Structure 1
């Protein structure tokens, strides 16, 4: 098991302890060029930046002064794919990793210690990458949720099968205090924490698809005031627009990482 540090884990410069179980609690991006990545997301999402205590290769994104995401220049260093990754809060990283292994998942990095917590980077049995975090957060969960991410969506082969995997690994719909509620609504699985929709799982992605946009993956949706303005800014600053519709656009940054901007009204 690899015990090197992972860019995706929350920075140890924390202010409060999370009180959620199994819910998304952080998002991160691997990058080949941190400065170029900073410039792109500042232009598209209006983020500001500060240093992280993990070293010069890591940065923290701020929206209205609140930490919302992490970036690490480790894609080339560790031969990792450039991608956005969600992290889920767990009471025990070691236990969650063991559960993932038992259910056909894999661990790329960790569990490793980032005082005051532990992190791991995993893949589910269809290959979608996600992280887990045990410990404190950079800011309280409600503040983080309101600052930028609207929700995350898993595009996968079988939504019901994926929900079983994640539910068993992350203690969804359990009796654990603060655990998430899971419901099958229409043609997708919906995850709620404290009454809020925090994740959706939908079927349709292909395990062996050559196009990474249709392989199983977690898609991060960021809440923005003007979707069209974000899409135009992405094009101007070296990114691209993969799909644009009413209230939402799927974008790709210059490094190739894909993400979605969602209208605050729609979110």
Structure 2
């Protein structure tokens, strides 16, 4: 899940999932076509793609010299949904996956070894998909957070139940040094790591959603300088705008993956 050019050298400090465990540490897009994804996200978010160690169907999205996301053109081949997925840092992928299954979640893939670490793709009790990562991080966590993702938000039916599930799986709000802090603020469950808001959990809307196809899901919010410019670029490059208000907009890429762009000043 990493490429050779992003490996730290002996002179560089290695940041691992043990240092920011429980917090989002990576995001990945399952797509159908790498060229289409490169054209769309290059125009909307200013990314460029470079090769990844896993093979021809995988790319690393770069913002400047910082790796910010993984893109895998495997949706059709593996019969997977086109979607963005967040990955959470854990000290042990095997233990976290086992805890998720013990609490009613499911394991779709893994844990599997992806040197220099281990990963698994899981789903919570309500079916929201998320990943876990154990090992060396793809780039310095603070640098990664500053480059693109503002935070992630779980849209679910019961925020408190979801917070209990994730808290037990990812060791949130425990006595372990470095764990994430959880608070209820402004009608949402808010997750902080090292003082920064990294995730939010909200409930209520899905229970009465008129569209039965809407399911609990994690939404990735990418920080951008100009929301309006991103909206225009998305429309010009085959995407669509699902909603726009204030300093953020919900977009859908050419393949149908949904994400949000949020003004940096709102972070």
Normalised by the length of structure 1, the TM-score is: 0.93
Q: Determine the structure 1 residue equivalent to 2:219.
A: 219
Counterparts of 1:65 and 1:78 in 2: how far apart (Å)? 30
Paired position in structure 2 for 1:57: 57
- For 2:259, the equivalent position in structure 1 comes to 259
Q: What is the CA RMSD across the aligned residues, in angstroms?
A: 1.6
Unmatched tracts of structure 1, length 5 or more: 1-8
Q: Give the 3 Å change call, closer, same or farther, for CA 256–208 of structure 1 in structure 2.
A: farther
Change (3 A) 1:195 1:31: same
**Aligned pairs for 1:134-173 within 5 A:** 134-173=134-173
Stretch deviating more after TM superposition (17-26 or 189-198): 17-26
3-state SS of 1:146 partner: helix
- Separation in structure 2 between the aligned mates of residue 86 and residue 213 of structure 1, nearest angstrom: 21
1:99-114, aligned counterparts within 5 Å?
A: 99-114=99-114
Give the drift of 1:107.
0.5
Q: Does 1:17 align with 2:15?
A: yes
- Does the 8 Å contact 2:188/2:202 carry over to 1? yes
Q: How far apart are the structure 2 equivalents of 1:168 and 1:252?
A: 32
- Indicate if the aligned counterparts of 1:121 and 1:132 stay in contact, CA closer than 8 A: yes
Deviation at 1:178, TM superposition (A): 1.2
Counterparts of 2:95 and 2:33, CA distance in 1: 34
DSSP-derived class of the 2:265 partner: coil
Asked whether 1:86 is paired with 2:79, we answer: no
Structure 1 residue 11: Cα displacement: 5.0
- How many equivalent residue pairs? 259
3-state SS of 1:173 partner: coil
Query: What residue number does 1:5 align with?
Result: none
Superposed CA deviations along residues 13-70 of structure 1, whole A, max 9, x for unmatched, are: 4322231010000000001111101110000000011100111100001112100000
For residues 177 and 213 of structure 2, what CA distance do their matches in structure 1 show? Answer: 35
**TM-score, normalization by structure 2:** 0.93
Name the structure 2 match of 1:117.
117
Equivalent residues in 2 for 1:171-250, closer than 5 Å: 171-206=171-206, 211=211, 214-250=214-250
Q: In structure 1, what is the Cα distance between the partners aligned to 2:194 and 2:156?
A: 25
Change (3 A) 1:169 1:192: same
Asked if the contact 2:192/2:199 (under 8 Å) is kept, the reply is: yes
For structure 2, the 5+ residue unaligned runs are 9-13
Q: Secondary structure at the match of 1:178?
A: coil
